[in-house]
Structure 1
Amino acid sequence: MTPQDTQVVTPPPHLSKEARSILSAADDQLSDLADYRTARATINRIADMRCKLVRDRGVPFDVEAVDANGVCAYWITSPPQDDSERVILYAHGGGYVAGEAARIIEHPLRMGRAAGRPVLSVEYRRAPEHPWPAAFEDCLQAHCWLVEQGYAPGRIAWTGLSAGGGIVLAMGLTARQRGIPMPGAIYGMSPWADLTASGDSYRTNAPYDHVMGSTDIEKLAGLYAGTADRREPTISPVYGDPRGLPPTLVDAGSREMLLSDAVIWAQRARDVGADVTLDVWDGLWHGFHNAQEVPEAHQVTERAAAFFRSHTGGSDSFSRTTR
């Protein structure tokens, strides 16, 4: 699919004034992610700006680099975190080609503060230098490291945004297949879960998605998948079998190109009896979760925190290796 110019459509009145302002501006937030060198610089600049805003507000936090079974990762902590026995594993977005865990701090920090627990953000290897399956394998290694550190699998929650959302869904499919202990919960935020772009929203929402609309999806998918079949479930989880996965929450904005990915995943999960919840946020865009200046971003964070608390309550939470 080729990039499209974003069109302005009057935002629904129920949105916050901050969200309506962003939608009314219709400025593309990202250039073509398939131009990955430019995308890396853009996403780093945005991440640095968001982190500075957190520091300027005086929010206390610490970032500590760790070696998680040969994978670089970062502990992101902030008081008060009264729950040291539960943890969130976070996979950042960036189309598999951009974004750095060392710089994307604000969003995982906000999630950890809302849930009252530490976050391990994974510096997974990126395409095109490291195509599939590097990204999700790195994150799976980080999960195994957490278990080795003594975290009960059922007290671990996985979450990821965009490409990171696709990663955590792929991790679930792979962990089940390999007999790796499952987390207590999985949360995919605007997951990029179909690199074949088969869903209806790739066409119907492209003119209105000011984040992904300028991206050459076909080219970007090729940078990650390489010559592999894009219907491989660990590349495009919508083609996988989600039976036996832990409780999963997926969400998306109604104006984003990737809306169909979340919808199709949820439909297929329900078809096989999996525990899945689908939230569609009316009028919002791809990755709105990241926009710290928008009240809806804080609402969705609180929603996630409640989901984590409900499903990672104890060592006997969902932690089956297989079904």
Structure 2
Amino acid sequence: MNVPVRAPLDGVSVAPATLGGIVGEWLESPGRPPKASLLYLHGGGYIACSPRTHRAVTTAFAHAGYGTFAPDYRLAPEHPFPAALEDALAAYRALLDRTRPRPLFVAGDSAGGGLSLALLLAARERGWPLPTAVALFSPLTDLVVTGDSIRQNAARCAMFVPQVLERVAQLYLGRRDPYDPLASPLYGDLRGLPPLLIHVGRDETLLDDSVRLAQRVRAAAGTVELEIWPAVPHAWQLFHPWIPEGRRSLAAAATFFDTYLHGS
């Protein structure tokens, strides 16, 4: 991994890095070795954003002691499904090889949350070791766009209305099947996944993407913690410098990871 030295950002060093041929950012807290590594997959509907737009989240994990790699994965419509997943897999495999046998964690928000879950299914298909635990913030898990909350919360959600979600799915998928579990992991085989933490807002159109995911993981005898937060916007963790709910959510995710650091 190529990590040139850069000046700290809010007490965290941020450097360009390349893992598995995928460029991105490596963040860690200077002066102390990371207690574990984290792969963070940013949101943006598979069509927007980058590691830079999500530094508020990745710096928080670095402050918590997690060396964090945020890949700049390819975006649709120029690079439709499965390009983002291929890039996430390449970064994950390289980070896995670099960190074993130490714990490795995965987290993501919105589309990055759905991509994190798809990564688990694809890694399992390949026979790769799965991460120690995973945190998902308002994950987009159903590109068929069938959740009841998509319409029930359309007037309350500050981010998405049904037409936007349908357009995002169209741009990402092209002519691919929206029921493909690697695009819509809600429809995948959810057995044998690592422990999941899911945070979602009560008023989000994507609420049911999280609720149904938790139900199906539990039905598959998996371990999942679902927390539904009142009065927060979509992916509110991005706004933690300004809202306490964002700070509490990120602190809870770091504590969740800490629980599994030593094989608990």
The code of the aligned residue for 2:190 comes to P
Alpha-carbon distance between aligned partners in 1 of 2:260 and 2:223, rounded to the nearest angstrom: 11
> Is the contact between residue 69 and residue 141 of structure 1 (CA under 8 Å) also seen in structure 2?
yes
* Alpha-carbon distance, 1:147 to partner: 2.1
Which runs of no fewer than 5 residues in structure 1 stay unpaired? 1-53, 319-323
* Alpha-carbon distance, 1:215 to partner: 5.7
Residue deviations 1:270-301, cap 9 Å, x none? Answer: 00101111111122221111112000000001
For residues 154 and 260 of structure 1, do their structure 2 counterparts lie closer, same or farther at Cα, with a shift above 3 Å needed? Answer: farther
Per the normalisation by structure 1, the TM-score is 0.76
Residue deviations 1:223-255, cap 9 Å, x none? Answer: 001101101111111101111111111120001
Alpha-carbon distance between aligned partners in 2 of 1:272 and 1:240, rounded to the nearest angstrom: 11
For 2:260, the equivalent position in structure 1 comes to: 311
Aligned residues: 256
Matches within 5 A, 1:255-294: 255-292=203-240, 293-294=242-243
Cα-Cα RMSD:
1.8
Residue deviations 1:157-185, cap 9 Å, x none? Answer: 10001000001000111111110111101
Matches within 5 A, 1:129-278: 129-149=78-98, 151-152=99-100, 155-213=103-161, 216-278=164-226
Name the % identity: 37
Alpha-carbon distance between aligned partners in 2 of 1:260 and 1:153, rounded to the nearest angstrom: 36
* Alpha-carbon distance, 1:79 to partner: 3.5
Per the normalisation by structure 2, the TM-score is 0.92
For residues 85 and 291 of structure 1, do their structure 2 counterparts lie closer, same or farther at Cα, with a shift above 3 Å needed? Answer: closer
> Is the contact between residue 199 and residue 249 of structure 2 (CA under 8 Å) also seen in structure 1?
no
Matches within 5 A, 1:74-89: 74-79=25-30, 82-89=32-39
Residue deviations 1:108-164, cap 9 Å, x none? Answer: 1012213x1211111110000111111122111111111222x12661110001000
Higher strand residue share: 2
Higher CA-based Rg: 1
Q: Looking at both structures, which has the greater relative contact order when contacts are Cα pairs under 8 Å and sequence separation is at least 6?
A: 1
Alpha-carbon distance between aligned partners in 1 of 2:101 and 2:50, rounded to the nearest angstrom: 26
The code of the aligned residue for 1:186 comes to V
Which runs of no fewer than 5 residues in structure 2 stay unpaired? 1-7
> Is the contact between residue 88 and residue 118 of structure 1 (CA under 8 Å) also seen in structure 2?
yes
